Amino acid sequence: MPLDRRAFLSLAIGAVATNLAGRPASGGTKERIKAIALDAFTTFDARPVFVLAEQLFPGRGAELGSIWRTRQFEYQWLRAASGQYADFWQATEGGLMFAAKLLKLDLTADKRDQLMGAYLAIKAWPDSAPALRSLHSSGLRLALLSNATAQLLGAWVANSNLTGVFEQVLSTDAIRTYKPDPRAYQMGLDALGLTRDQVAFAAFGGWDAAGVPKVEHFMKLGSWFAGTPDDLVAHLKGIEEKYPGMEHINFASPLTTPKDLMLEQFQIVAEEVMPHFRGSSQLHAAAAK
C-alpha cells in the first residue's frame, strides 16, 4: 500500500468505506451509513488552475497559487463571520487579485480572466469517477456539499461525466454562508432527509470537519486518525486486508498546520509506518530527498 499524496476523495472516503457495514449509534444499535456528503475538492482536481498560473507567471506560479488558495478561504470565512457575504467566485477572484498585488505581478485583465475561467474547466481526479460510481452502484447515496457556487458545481459535474451520480448537488451559497458553519451541514442533512448518524461528511480539509459538532463522530468513522505509528500501522493493515486491491491512500494535514510540523509528521509516517507496506522503499527514498 504505497503512500500517495494525491487528494483523491481524501482518506475520509477510504476510511468511511470500511464502516459501511454499520457502527454503533448513540442508542447502542447498529446504524448503517446511508449517504456520503462530499466536499467538492475531494472529487474535483483544481491543479490545472495552478499549472496555468505557472505558465502565465513562469517561476512564480507556485508562490502565487499558494497565497491565492490561502486568501481564497480566508476571505470566505471572514466575510461569513462579519456578515458581509460574497460568494465563492467573488472570494476566489478577490484572493487572486490580493496574491498578485502582494507578489507585485502584472495581473492583466486577460490573465485574470484566464485564471478565473480555468476554475470553470475543472474536472474530477482520474480515480474519482470509477470510485464514486462503485459507491453509487452499491446503493450508497452520494451528495456534493460545497462552498463553490451552483454554477461551478454544475460545470465540474458535467465536465467529469458524473451527471446522475450525485443525488444532491448543494452549494452553501443557497444559504449565504460557508462551511464550517453548522448550518451548511444541516442543509445537507435536510436535503437528504437523514440524521447525522446516517450521513458521513467527507472533508477535504480539517477546517471543513470542524463544522460537525463532535470530533468523535469522525474518529469513529475513521476519517480522522490519532495515535502512535504502531496504531497507524494496525489501522492501515485492517484497511489493506479488507480491500486487497486498494493501492493508494492519501494522507493530509489540517489546513493551517505549521509546515515544520506537517513535514515532521510525514517523515515519521515514511520512516516508521510505510516500511510495513509494499512499495515503501520508493517512498522512503522520496521522503529523504
Active site members: 39
Q: At what angle do helices 47-56 and 61-82 cross, to 10 degrees?
A: 120
Residues 6+ apart with CB under 8 A from 50: 61, 62, 65
Q: Is 142 helix (H, G, I), strand (E, B) or coil?
A: strand
Q: What is the residue whose three cell numbers read 456534493?
A: 144
CA R_g for the chain:
19
Grid cell digits, residue 75? 476571505
Report the C-alpha gap between 134 and 257 in whole angstroms.
Answer: 33
Residue 152, CB-side half-sphere exposure with 13 Å CA sphere: 26
Q: What is the residue whose three cell numbers read 470530533?
A: 215
Beta strands 23-24 and 30-31, pairing class: antiparallel
